[in-house]
């Protein structure tokens, strides 16, 4: 291939990525709901006419990787019936979706009357109906109790909105005006992406653009195979557990057997638990998306996250298991848990081969949704506890990052500022800060957890707790210690309650307060090997106490600073023991 061709393909590839980014910027700026506009709980992308993901705005990784499945579901249902000016909507977890709150908008892109691309946006809506506002129904035993299911459905035909379809969907939700507005924002983002693609086709020509898109997929596949070939051949096993499913106290096992061969890797979940009663089950789309996230993380950050990279990754997930349940099982929590545990199990397996590439455990999400009537305007509201995020685990050469989304949303969900939350919801923020002695100790420590305390003053407010990690902490690696557990305290006018990680709606009164302590990340490496100056810095910053510095790190700190002689003595004694 000549140099000019290589440069042109590079330019087109970069343009495809920036189109996805522009779609994301448009969606963020045009949406109304806080979960879109502030938390940015969405992802955007471009696929080819086969539904293969070419480029994506990572946004929420568990959503981004699923974009191709949504397009493929539309292709399977409508086949040759897709026409210019159509737009499709989908959310069914058993037909191309993740969980019901994540709605996909799919727009075909025609050029000279030929279907060339699809633009796709997938985003988490604040309410999708069902028995509980906010749609995290901890008591659900079947998907029908979680909200309205939308199979691949034509929403716009030949540029004309199907009003009856839109009304049917939004009529079954608690905030139909906001949902309509956000769906239009998604469709608008797709339209911008489509226009940019047409501009690119006009500028470079169909043949060149098509070749560049195919080259992107091929290059990603080659890089994935190259990464796989660097792993020692063999099978590595990793296990992770969820606390429970909300119905039984029994922990739920996710086991991944990861087999590396020269040009492919197989991830086998056959020894994972059977599907459970509660809403932690993971549909196959979510399971595959989580597996891709984990494996590509272990291989290289330089591999483009597109369908070419996914091809050498084979996944075995038996039907009827917690990672591939039968089609009526509830799944709403799955994009957090068990997606995070799927990722962790794979990373634990890979750590047996390449520990230097793998981080220790991340804090799991465990927070509230809350809903009721806002006394300032008498409008119904649904809010989420995005400000109680846990923290990341340490890895070789790097401490964990604080205040992160769960590992399935790694770096994606943004926590809104407290002032914005107080404008949008009838709550007051009483405390919001990192918590001492919650970070997993290690040569490279995890990051501390967060204390988040809010007071409610709305009318007829209810709270739902959903999440995990109140029994099973983030794991440590290579001698690093575990991170802390999630905890909470609800102070009502009558009593003090400690809520389970999966708690059905509870009514609140004006003045009730909720305190959340999120989990700190796990540590990586022997804590006694941590630089003593970094230990002292952690103490000064309030991350660890004097007691932790002494017991966990073998560092003696006095009012005058580090007692070097005592520290060396302590560390020598600890190493001998």
Structure confidence at residue 315 as a pLDDT band (50, 70, 90): very high
Which DSSP symbol is given to 145?
G
Mean pLDDT of 207-227: 95
* Contact of 88 with 74, CB cutoff 8 Å: yes
Q: How far is CA 303 from CA 105, 172, 272, 300, 409, in A?
A: 26, 41, 28, 6, 18
**What confidence tens digit (pLDDT) does each residue in 86-125 have?**
999 999 999 999 999 999 999 999 999 999 999 999 999 9
pLDDT surpasses 70 at 140: yes
Long-range CB contacts (< 8 A, 24+ apart) of 21-28? 21/57, 22/192, 22/193, 22/196, 23/57, 23/119, 23/121, 23/189, 23/190, 23/192, 23/193, 24/57, 24/59, 24/189, 26/185, 26/188, 26/189, 26/192, 27/121, 27/123, 27/185, 27/186, 27/188, 27/189
**What order do you get walking across the sheet with 265-268 strand by strand?**
234-242, 252-260, 265-268, 313-316
Token pair 């909720």: residue: 514
* Contact of 228 with 337, CB cutoff 8 Å: no
Write the burial class of residue 390 (CB in 10 Å: 0-12 exposed, 13-18 middle, 19+ buried): buried
Consecutive H or E run containing 514:
strand 513-517
CB neighbour list of residue 188: distance below 8 Å, 6 or more residues apart? 26, 27, 30
Structure confidence at residue 56 as a pLDDT band (50, 70, 90): confident
Q: How far apart are CA 549 and CA 445, in angstroms?
A: 12
Tokens of 48: 């080819």
The reported pLDDT for the residue numbered 516 is 98
40: left (phi over 0), alpha (psi -120 to 50) or beta: left
**What confidence tens digit (pLDDT) does each residue in 474-521 have?**
999 999 999 999 999 999 989 999 999 999 999 999 999 999 999 999
Work out the end-to-end distance of the chain between its first and last CA atoms, rounded to an integer number of angstroms. 62
Mean pLDDT of 159-165: 97
The reported pLDDT for the residue numbered 5 is 85
């Amino acid at each position: 291939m000549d140099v000019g061709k290589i440069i042109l393909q590079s330019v087109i590839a970069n343009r495809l990525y920036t189109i996805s980014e522009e779609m994301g910027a448009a969606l963020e700026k045009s949406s109304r709901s806080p979960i879109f506009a502030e938390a940015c709980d969405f992802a955007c992308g471009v696929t080819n006419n086969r539904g293969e993901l070419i480029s994506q705005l990572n946004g929420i990784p568990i959503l981004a990787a699923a974009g191709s499945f949504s397009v493929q579901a539309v292709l399977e249902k409508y086949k040759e019936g897709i026409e210019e000016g159509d737009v499709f909507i989908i959310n069914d977890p058993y037909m191309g979706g993740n969980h019901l709150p994540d709605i996909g908008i799919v727009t075909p892109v025609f050029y000279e009357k030929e279907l060339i691309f699809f633009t796709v946006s997938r985003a988490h809506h604040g309410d999708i109906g069902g028995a509980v506002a906010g749609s995290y129904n901890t008591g659900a035993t079947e998907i029908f109790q979680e909200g309205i299911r939308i199979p691949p459905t034509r929403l716009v035909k030949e540029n004309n909105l199907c009003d009856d379809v839109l009304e049917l969907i939004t009529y079954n939700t608690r905030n139909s005006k906001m949902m309509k507005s956000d769906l239009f924002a998604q469709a608008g983002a797709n339209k911008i992406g489509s226009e940019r693609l047409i501009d690119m086709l006009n500028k470079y020509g169909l043949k060149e653009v098509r070749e560049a898109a195919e080259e992107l997929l091929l290059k990603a596949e080659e890089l994935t195979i190259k990464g796989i070939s660097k792993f020692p051949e063999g099978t590595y096993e990793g296990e992770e557990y969820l606390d429970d499913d909300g119905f039984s106290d029994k922990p739920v096992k996710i086991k991944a057997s990861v087999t590396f061969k020269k040009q492919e890797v197989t991830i086998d979940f056959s020894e994972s638990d059977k599907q459970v009663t509660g809403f932690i089950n993971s549909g196959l789309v979510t399971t595959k998306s989580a597996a891709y996230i984990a494996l590509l993380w272990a291989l290289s950050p330089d591999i483009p996250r597109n369908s070419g990279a996914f091809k050498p990754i084979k996944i075995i997930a038996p039907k009827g298991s917690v990672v591939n349940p039968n089609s009526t099982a509830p799944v709403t929590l799955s994009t957090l848990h068990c997606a995070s545990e799927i990722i962790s199990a794979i990373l634990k397996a890979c750590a047996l081969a390449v520990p230097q590439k793998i981080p220790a455990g991340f804090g799991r999400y465990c927070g509230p949704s809350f809903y009721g009537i806002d006394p300032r305007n008498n409008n119904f509201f649904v809010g989420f506890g995005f400000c109680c995020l846990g923290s990341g685990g340490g890895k070789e050469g790097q401490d964990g990052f604080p205040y992160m989304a769960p590992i399935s949303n790694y770096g994606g969900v943004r926590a809104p500022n407290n002032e914005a939350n107080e404008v949008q919801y009838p709550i007051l923020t009483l405390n919001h800060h990192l918590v001492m002695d919650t970070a997993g100790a290690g040569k490279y420590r995890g990051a501390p957890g967060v204390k988040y305390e809010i007071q409610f003053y709305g009318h007829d407010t209810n709270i739902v707790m959903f999440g995990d990690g109140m029994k099973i902490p983030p794991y440590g690696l290579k001698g690093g210690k575990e991170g802390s557990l999630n905890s909470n305290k609800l102070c009502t006018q009558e009593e003090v309650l400690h809520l389970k990680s999966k708690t059905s709606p509870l009514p609140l009164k004006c003045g009730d307060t909720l305190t959340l302590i999120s989990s700190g990340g796990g540590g990586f490496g022997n804590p006694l090997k941590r630089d003593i100056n970094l230990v002292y810095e952690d103490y000064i910053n309030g991350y660890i106490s004097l007691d932790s510095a002494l017991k966990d790190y073998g560092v003696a700190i006095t009012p005058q600073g580090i007692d070097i002689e005592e520290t060396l003595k302590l560390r020598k004694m600890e190493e001998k023991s």
